[in-house]
């Protein structure tokens, strides 16, 4: 008896999966391997919220217009638990079982670098909205990104800090097991030493992925008397490190990176983070214009808070993918062929007008676009300081 039930259930399930395959001709499926739990859950939430906003807007008009016919968008969100191995697994599931046309995500370089390899091998176009480590797209024709690169961000941060803090000596703290954090720290050290000489990076310390106490590293860094501390860290670490450094008597500035730009940073960090600077992708505070303003208002109305850079970059990434599908002018029956068309159209994008600025892709699939420096003001809002564009 129980065998019968099992067989029946299996039969039901397989019909379900097969019907999923048939339906693929009618909807446009995009897969999102994103960190809904784990270290950076707010990043996953922003991704999902921004994507849902985009989908609802398109589907309210009957779907995406491809060559005169309308196809509804279908987004599949998978939790990568903020772990590289889970990210690879769920991406393979999206590619093989769900037959998605394109992948948007993962967000952090720690997952985007290994997942980029999987997408490239399986010839599925992928855009990572937020990853800034060069390795994610390097020599991978199927992989693109919406954010600027670490070497660019590092030189922006180095130039700004030298000018703003009149600094010559810097201490750096980063997370050793995170490709994003380590890559940016390395790039920053190179950029800083190039400008200020060999001995100008006075401390270069790291910590592990589960650490909560940084006093040993910070004591060492503060003893080296830096003019400021560079923290290329996820917001959850920044919120621990900055107050701990204050407890140890450090009074100078901190300079952060784009991973600070989460709506949750100020909730966790409190007053200690006020007055610090970080580099980021777009300019959410008052004064945003046009499509950016429109996006911020829509998002704020629906979810009750100002979208962070992850949300904005995700919106742009989804817009890039749907633009590439529209440009194809038709929906191929073969997923393989359709994926190929999307890749070609993405590579040839010219002057995409995104809400995080205008951009086009270079030969590596990396965008050419501007960075923004933000200061955290007394009310805890992220306020525009200056914008830096590639030369």
Partner 1 sequence: MEIFLQQCVNALQWGSFYALIALGYTLVYGVLRLINFAHGDIFMVGAYLAFYISTAFLAPEGLFGFSRGLTLALTIPLTMIFTSLVGVTLERIAYRPLMRKGAHRLYVVITALMCGLVLENGNLALLGASRKTLPALLDKSVYDVGGIAVTNLKLWVIFAAVLVFFALHFVVTKTRMGMAMRAVSWNKFALPLMGIPLDSVIVFTFVLGSGIAGLGGMLFAMSYPVLEPYMGAMTGWKAFIAAVVGGIGDIRGAFVGGFLLAFVEVMVAAFLPSTFRDLFAFSILLLILWQRPTGIFGRPLISKI
Nearer to partner 1, 99 or 205 (CB): 205
Strand 73-79 versus strand 143-145 pairing type:
unpaired
Question: Using the 8-state DSSP alphabet, how is residue 252 labeled?
Answer: S
DSSP string, 294-356: HHHHHHHHHHSS---HHHHHHHHHHHHHHHHHHHH-S--SSHHHHHHHHHHHHHT--SEEETT
The answer to whether 38 contacts partner 1 (rule: CB under 8 A) is: yes
Site string for partner 1, 172-191 (x = CB under 8 A): ----x---------------
Site for partner 1 in 45-64 (CB under 8 A): 45
Per DSSP, the three-state class of 158 is: helix
Nearer to partner 1, 33 or 357 (CB): 33
Instruction: Check residue 308 for interaction with partner 1 (CB under 8 A).
Output: no
Measured from the CB atom, the residue of 118 and 241 that comes closer to partner 1 is 241
Residue 205: CB minimum distance to partner 1, A: 5
Identified binder of partner 1 from the candidate list 98, 99, 264, 309, rule CB under 8 A: 264
One residue of 194, 247, 297, 377 binding partner 1 per CB under 8 A: 247
- Report DSSP state, residue 142: T
Interface stretch with partner 1, choices 26-34, 67-75, 205-213, 350-358 (CB under 8 A): 205-213
Q: Does 236 bind partner 1 (CB under 8 A)?
A: yes
The residue among 232, 246, 147 whose CA lies nearest residue 182 is 232
Among 117, 202, 248, 375, binds partner 1 (CB under 8 A): 248
Minimal distance in Å, beta carbon 100 to partner 1? Answer: 24
**Computed from CA positions of residues 159, 138, 123, 35, in that sequence, does the dihedral angle turn out positive or negative?**
negative
The tokens describing 35, both together, are 């960190």
- Tokens describing residue 92: 């393979």
| Binding piece for partner 1, criterion CB under 8 A, among 30-38, 134-142, 146-154, 194-202 | 30-38
Handedness of CA 243, 245, 249, 255 (dihedral sign): negative
The CB-of-58 to partner 1 minimum distance in angstroms stands at 28
Closest approach, Cβ 245 to partner 1, in A, equals: 10
Region class of 37: left (phi > 0), else alpha (psi between -120 and 50), else beta: beta
Residue 331 near residue 292, CB atoms below 8 Å: no
Judged by CB under 8 A, which of 212, 333, 334, 363 binds partner 1? 212
List the one residue from 85, 213, 358, 362 that touches partner 1 (CB under 8 A): 213
Q: How far apart are CA 354 and CA 62, in angstroms?
A: 23
> Apex CA 266: angle with CA 261 and CA 268, to 5°?
110
Which residues are near partner 1 by CB under 8 A? 36-38, 41-42, 44-45, 176, 205-208, 210, 212-213, 215-217, 219-220, 223, 236, 239-240, 243, 246-249, 264, 267-268, 270
């Amino acid at each position: 008896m129980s065998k019968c039930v099992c067989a029946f259930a299996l039969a039901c399930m397989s019909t379900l999966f097969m019907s999923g395959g048939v339906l693929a001709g009618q909807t446009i499926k995009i897969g999102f391997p994103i960190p809904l739990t784990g270290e950076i859950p707010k990043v996953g939430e922003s991704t999902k919220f921004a994507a849902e906003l985009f989908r609802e807007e398109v589907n309210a008009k009957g779907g995406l217009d491809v060559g005169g016919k309308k196809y509804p968008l279908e987004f599949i969100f998978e939790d990568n638990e903020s772990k590289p191995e889970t990210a690879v697994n769920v991406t393979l599931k999206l590619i093989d079982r769900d037959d998605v046309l394109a992948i948007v995500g993962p967000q952090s370089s720690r997952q985007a670098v290994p997942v980029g390899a999987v997408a490239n091998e399986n010839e599925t176009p992928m855009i990572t909205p937020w990853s800034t480590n060069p390795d994610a797209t390097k020599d991978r024709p199927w992989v693109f990104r919406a954010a600027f690169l670490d070497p660019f961000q590092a030189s922006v941060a180095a130039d700004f800090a030298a000018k703003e803090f009149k600094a010559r000596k810097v201490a750096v703290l980063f997370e050793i097991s995170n490709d994003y954090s380590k890559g940016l720290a390395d790039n920053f050290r190179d950029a800083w030493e190039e400008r200020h000489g060999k001995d100008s990076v006075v401390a270069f310390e790291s910590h592990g992925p589960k650490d909560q106490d940084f006093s040993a590293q910070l004591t060492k860094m503060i003893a080296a008397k830096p003019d400021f501390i560079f923290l290329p860290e996820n917001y959850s670490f920044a919120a621990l490190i900055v107050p701990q450094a204050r407890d140890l008597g450090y009074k100078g500035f901190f300079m952060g990176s784009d991973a600070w730009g989460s709506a949750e940073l100020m909730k966790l960090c409190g007053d200690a983070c006020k007055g610090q600077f970080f580099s980021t992708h777009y300019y959410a505070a008052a004064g945003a214009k046009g499509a950016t303003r429109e996006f911020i208002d829509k998002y704020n109305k629906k979810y009750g808070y100002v979208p962070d850079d992850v949300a904005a970059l995700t919106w742009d990434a989804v817009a890039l993918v749907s633009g590439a599908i529209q440009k194809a002018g038709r929906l191929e029956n073969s997923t393989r062929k359709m994926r190929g068309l999307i890749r070609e159209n993405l590579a040839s994008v010219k002057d995409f007008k995104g809400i995080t600025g205008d951009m086009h892709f270079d030969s590596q699939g990396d965008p050419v676009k501007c960075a923004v420096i933000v200061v955290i003001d007394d009310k805890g809002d992220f306020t525009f300081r200056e914008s830096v564009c590639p030369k």
